[in-house]
Amino acid sequence: TPWQPLLFSPLLGFTLIRGTHDPDDVDQIKHLEIRDSDVFVATYPKSGTIWLQQILLLVEAKGDVTAIRNPTIVSNADIMPWMESIGTREMFITAPSPRMRVTHLQPQFMPLALSQRGKVIYVARNPKDVLVSYFYFHKMAKMLETPKDFNDFFEKFLRGDLFGCSWFDHIKAWYSVKDEMNMLFFTFEEMIQDLKSVVQRISLFLGKDLTNEEQANVVKHSTFKKMKDIPQANYKQVSEEMFNHQNGMFMRKGTIGDWKNHFTVAQNERFDQVFQKEMKDFPVSFIWDIKDIE
């Protein structure tokens, strides 16, 4: 059998990436001690994770972009790594505050102490755009399987047969614990609509007192256009061993409604059926098209 990049862990009941994650290590995350200043950004893959890395690092630096444009830093993940990646958990224990981490895990794998202290930011993105973005990401990320075709990937997404598992389970699980943790919940589409007010909400949530000018600098250096010019933000410097940069970009479009360029009518109907069934009582509504906000 060919090499299987995905690793379903019976221990966790969750799908991980072979070589990137270790189920036994992930299983230990829940026992970590948490400090008041710890911040976790939780997302399903392709929902604005690296955008949030940029914003949080800039909020922490009060808008000073030199904090990120550091020649010794390959990517923002060096300063704000994925919690589930091999090695991150051990480094977390002794890391200086503030410890800021991103994760694609579901809440049941997170430190139990988050119910007492620390902060969580959850960003949700409309799942049709997530699917398209994740499809392109699979084409460039060497640790993942190159999709046979769009339709095959479409079915995998609906089955939750990917790293991150089911989008529907992910958002519902996190939303269900939002009152048990100190959590800020917003959408990718809100960031596109009004980045300034999202940056304000984040600063307030993190207890950072930024001047108007500092806040404006955070916004300025967190726009999609600016991030495309900052190698640490767009992951351009990450080695070819991990990403085939010829096959695509980490930051591709960053828009709303790109799914319309990819879904067939039949796929869209099928997706809507599944969405209706899975999300019928869910209180958050999504923006599916950029025209809806223009």
Question: Which domains does the chain carry?
Answer: 6-126+161-245 (3.40.50.300)
> 84-98, 113-127, 140-154, 208-222 — which is least confidently predicted?
140-154
Q: How confident is the model at residue 227 (pLDDT cuts 50, 70, 90)?
A: confident
Taking each helix axis as running N to C, give the angle between helix 212-221 and helix 195-205, from 0 to 180 degrees, rounded to the nearest 10.
Answer: 120
Average pLDDT over residues 273-284: 94
Question: Model confidence over 46-67: pLDDT tens digits?
Answer: 998 888 988 999 999 999 888 7
List residues with catalytic annotation. Answer: 104
Which residue did the predictor score with more confidence, 222 or 99?
99
Condensed to tens digits (0 to 9), the pLDDT of residues 27-48 reads: 999 999 999 999 999 999 999 8
pLDDT computed for residue 237 by the predictor:
45
Residue 238: per-residue pLDDT: 44
Work out whether strand 39-43 and strand 119-124 pair parallel, antiparallel, or are unpaired.
parallel
**What pLDDT score does 250 carry?**
42
Alpha-carbon span 21 to 6, nearest angstrom: 10
Strand order in the sheet with 183-187: 100-103, 39-43, 119-124, 183-187
